[in-house]
């Protein structure tokens, strides 16, 4: 399926948010995810299904000022 991940169209095999993170090799414990502009709590990642055309933003904290 095709998703838009952080503004880039990608072909993805994952069917859920947690599987998407594994497929894209995100291993940070400090992430936030928005699916179609809604922030999804970490506890829901393993049960949140993805569908073709979804927009996913994966946010990582950055230190700075």
Task: Compute the average pLDDT of residues 21-39.
Answer: 92
pLDDT tier at 45 (50, 70, 90 boundaries)?
very high
57: CB partners within 8 A, 6+ apart: 5, 6, 33, 34
pLDDT for 7-24, tens place per residue? 999 999 999 999 999 999
Provide the whole-model pTM: 0.88
Task: Tell me what pLDDT residue 65 has.
Answer: 61
* Residues 2-59, CATH architecture: Roll (3.10)
pLDDT tier at 59 (50, 70, 90 boundaries)?
very high
């Amino acid at each position: 399926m095709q998703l838009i991940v952080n503004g880039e169209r990608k072909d993805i095999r994952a069917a859920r948010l947690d599987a998407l993170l594994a497929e894209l090799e995100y291993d940070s414990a400090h992430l936030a995810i928005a699916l179609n502009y809604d922030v999804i709590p970490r506890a829901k990642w393993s049960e949140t299904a993805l569908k073709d055309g979804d927009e996913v933003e994966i946010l990582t904290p950055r230190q700075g000022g």
